[in-house]
Amino acid sequence: MKKKILIISGGISKERSVSLDTGLQVANELRRNLYNVKISEPNYNLEKTIKKFNPHLIFNALHGQFGEDGYIQTILEMLKIPYTHSGVIPSAIAMDKEISKKLFAKYKINTPKFFTYSFDKRNSQLVKAIDSRLKFPVVVKPLNEGSSVNVFICTKKNIFKILNSLKNYKRVMIEQFIGGREIQVAILGNKKLGAIELKPKRKFYDYQAKYNTNAKTQHIIKIDLPKKKLNEVLEIAHKAHKIIGCKGVTRSDFKYFNGKFYLLEINTQPGMTKLSLVPEIAAHNGMSFLELIEWILEDASTNR
């Protein structure tokens, strides 16, 4: 008998539409293979829904705040039901770009230099600080968003305009801009699944480049890198996965510049949409979409 799977998708983050798409595509694949599947929002009725449906486990298809930052994981831990992907603390660490980058640095993983900017303090010396510590252009991003939501490349001319548009976040990260190539690596548990290179038509691999089919980002699954370098980036991603204590599948985002890999961040709940990278990497390595989902489900049921 196939397992009963409750998929939680949607949510309140800016990645709601991506989450709904992930949830629907996972549900459709499981239903085609005779699983008993129900999709639910993470709302006030979630506990009632779980008790009524009584699933074997939960597929967490949420992205962004509340979904992959430890909050929903805390609720599911309290309800004592197995769920996919990483647990409370690893999810919270990976989602917080400041904490995760400090951890990368501690374990000698290259990551772009950065500092945080707080909107409750007037910083008349900001441009001088950037010039001395990072150099323009810089990347400005929220500390706890995913899918490159509200990420901007800034120059001296537009830095304050961009910062003004991000005041709702209270604190943001100002990060050294690293040029070069976009490399993404998928890890499944203890397995280095593979990597993919992206060539966006836009300035960088932002939200539109990730999810807009008209953005025409080129996906290169056979990366033009020496085998030694490819193994190196796979090993770094695996190391980051272990350091943070991740479970299930993760996707790490890198820049490759002047022979060095720079880890930007690690994603504990990668998308499962038609444009998502982990299913594409899996398919290239002989793993179907169903096999990938079933691996994630099996991992959730045996590693809690």
Give residue limits of the domains in the chain: 4-85, 114-176, 179-302
Tell whether pTM > 0.85: yes
Tell me what the mean pLDDT of segment 258-267 comes to.
Answer: 96
**Residue 137, preceding bond cis, omega within 30 degrees?**
yes
Active-site residues, by number, are 15, 147, 211, 251, 253, 265, 267, 271
Percentage of the chain lying above the pLDDT 90 cut:
73
Whether the per-residue pLDDT at 205 is higher than 90: the answer is: no
| pLDDT score recorded for residue 124 | 67
pLDDT in tens, 50-86: 999 999 999 999 998 899 999 999 999 999 999 999 9
Alpha-carbon span 145 to 245, nearest angstrom:
20
Is residue 153 a contact partner of residue 135, using CB atoms and an 8 Å limit? no
Does the domain at residues 4-85 carry the CATH identifier 3.40.50.20? yes
Does the domain at residues 114-176 carry the CATH identifier 3.30.1490.20? yes
Long-range (24+ apart) CB contacts under 8 A made by 230-234 are 230/195, 232/261, 233/183, 233/185, 233/195, 233/261, 234/185, 234/192, 234/194, 234/195
Does the domain at residues 179-302 carry the CATH identifier 3.30.470.20? yes
Note whether 4-85 and 179-302 share their fold.
no
Is residue 188 a contact partner of residue 249, using CB atoms and an 8 Å limit? yes
Backbone phi and psi for residue 85, each to the nearest 5 degrees, phi listed first = 70, -165
Backbone phi and psi for residue 179, each to the nearest 5 degrees, phi listed first = -75, -155
